[in-house]
Amino acid sequence: MKTAVIVFPGSNCDRDAAVALERVTGRPAAMIWHGDSALPEGLDLVMVPGGFSYGDYLRSGAVSARSPIMQDLVRRAGEGLPVLGVCNGFQVLTEAGLLDGALMRNAGLRFICEKAPLRVETADTRFTRAYGDRKDVTIPIAHHDGNFFADDETLDRLEGEGQVAFRYAANPNGSARDIAGITNAAGNVLGMMPHPERAVDPALGGTDGLGVFESLLGGRS
């Protein structure tokens, strides 16, 4: 499995992402600079990592979504390439139009860093199938702008079409309908605020994030 991680100025979870991907796939991830114009050929997954790209100026992810590499990512995602955006990466994907909704300031206007209990809302996605019948997982969060928002019509569509992948079991940030992660309509793009790459090793406090990556390999967590 050939993977890549996009690196923006201010990314700080890119190495975590690369370590998680290598752990699961057995081969190093390509680190792609945001200023590059094209992704490598033959990729099986691109990960847009967390952090504070461009210092979260304007809106979180707004500047990064207009980086040169994103034009190719949008094109390739439209062709079916799997894309995983985590935390700031989720924000970038919404700003780039690859996912619905927006991420706003947390309801309490505070940065939250804690382990978050989640529900796997559907195991019928390429990012969650390894969880099987398992519904309850715990994956860390670390964000200030993680409050997912969309209008009621959009929320109803996300719910009705099975695009809600994860929900918070205890809502930490005010996200509409407790949404923690969603896919696009085609199912090849997932954005989530919790950090699965920080939950892939017992030494890090848990392995509940492995299911996201193992799902892409067709395995079971």
User: What residues are labeled active site?
Assistant: 87, 195, 197
Give 100's Cβ-side CA count (13 Å radius). 22
Checking phi first, is residue 6 left (phi over 0); if not, alpha (psi -120 to 50) or beta?
Answer: beta
Asked if 126 contacts 187 with a C-beta cutoff of 8 angstroms, the reply is yes
Quickly tell me which residue has 């409050």 as its tokens: 147
Q: Are strands 112-120 and 164-168 parallel, antiparallel or unpaired?
A: antiparallel
Distance CA 152, CA 51 (A): 29
Give 148's Cβ-side CA count (13 Å radius). 30
Measured from the Cβ of residue 217, the count of other Cβ atoms closer than 10 Å reads 14
Q: Is 133 helix (H, G, I), strand (E, B) or coil?
A: coil
Distance CA 8, CA 117 (A): 29
How close are the terminal C-alpha atoms of the chain, in Å?
A: 17
Angle at 164 between CA 16 and CA 92, to 5 degrees: 45
Give 81's Cβ-side CA count (13 Å radius). 24
